[in-house]
């Protein structure tokens, strides 16, 4: 493993997957009539630094009902470094997002991680008072104001898949991690065919306008995402470029492949 990898904070490297993919969300057109995902869907991505294997990410759609019996969405993301990357920084992180059935707002967001910087984060959403409250290991911070339609980063991954994208569209949508709320803005720049493990995908290319971001996101490198053109808009590849190289996530399997 190159020595320069040690200089890159784990928090920056492993936030890239969420940070770049949320930029692909927005009101780029009417919602897709039929849901492009269903309970039981499982997407697996491999992580690479240049040509080196770094780990994997798994995203799932799980069944869930409230105590009152109401059906809502439950999305899960499991991020893990492999044994080679564990030598430098070990990541074991689980994220859960719960949204209303229309996927128009987040109800609860949870993130747990172990390692050098453990986290046990819970973000509660109070839509009556338009606020979100962040807590880590039970220690609650001051609530923040949120905008109508605000989602958490994980829910935004699925929000894009319910939109009709088109080249030239400018995408905007409010997002929060519980500490700040910002409107994410990005542009669908082109259509492009890419190949992963011998399989070709026709995709939309989406690039964020980093000058519209706030907080940690404005410190990230150049980001780019490829989403499948066909109905479903599955994120196929995500790439971030540093001055010393690039980090990428590539789709390697679904529960239908």
pLDDT at site 157:
79
Parts of the chain with a pLDDT under 50: 1-33, 211-221
pLDDT at site 210:
53
DSSP one-letter string for the chain: --GGGGGS-HHHHHHHHHHHHHTT-S--SSBPSS-S--TT-EEEEEEEETTEEEEEEEEEEE--B-TT--B-EEEEEEEEE-HHHHTT---EEEEEEEE-TTSSSEEEEEEEEESSS-EEEEEEEETTTTEEEEEETTEEPPPEE--TT-B-HHHHHHHGGGB---TT-EEEEEEE-SS-EEEEEEEEEEEEEEEETTEEEEEEEEEE-GGG--GGGGGS-EEEEEEESSTT--EEEEEEEETTEEEEEEEEEETT-
pTM for the predicted model, two decimal places = 0.80
pLDDT at site 206:
86
């Amino acid at each position: 493993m190159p020595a320069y990898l040690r200089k890159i904070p784990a928090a920056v490297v492993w936030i890239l997957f969420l940070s770049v993919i949320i930029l692909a969300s927005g009101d780029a057109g009417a919602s897709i009539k039929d849901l492009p995902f269903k309970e039981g869907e499982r997407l697996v991505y491999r992580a690479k630094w240049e040509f080196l294997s770094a780990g994997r990410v798994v995203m799932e759609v799980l069944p869930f009902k409230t105590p009152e019996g109401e059906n809502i969405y439950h999305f899960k993301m499991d991020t893990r470094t492999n044994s080679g990357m564990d030598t430098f920084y070990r990541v074991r992180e689980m994220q859960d997002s719960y949204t209303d059935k229309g996927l128009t707002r987040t109800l609860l967001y949870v993130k747990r991680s172990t390692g050098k910087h453990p986290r046990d984060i819970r973000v509660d959403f109070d839509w009556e008072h338009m606020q979100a409250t962040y807590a880590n290991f039970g220690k609650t911070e001051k609530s923040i104001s949120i905008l109508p339609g605000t989602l958490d980063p994980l829910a935004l991954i699925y929000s894009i898949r319910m939109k009709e994208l088109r080249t030239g569209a400018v995408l905007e949508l409010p997002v929060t991690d519980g500490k700040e709320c910002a409107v994410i803005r990005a542009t669908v720049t082109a259509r492009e065919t890419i190949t992963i493990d011998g399989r070709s995908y026709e995709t939309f290319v989406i690039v964020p306008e980093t000058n519209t971001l706030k907080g940690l996101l404005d410190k990230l490198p150049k980001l780019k995402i490829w989403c499948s053109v066909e109905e479903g808009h599955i994120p196929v590849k995500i790439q971030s470029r540093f001055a010393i190289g690039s980090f990428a996530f590539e789709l390697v399997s679904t529960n239908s492949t």
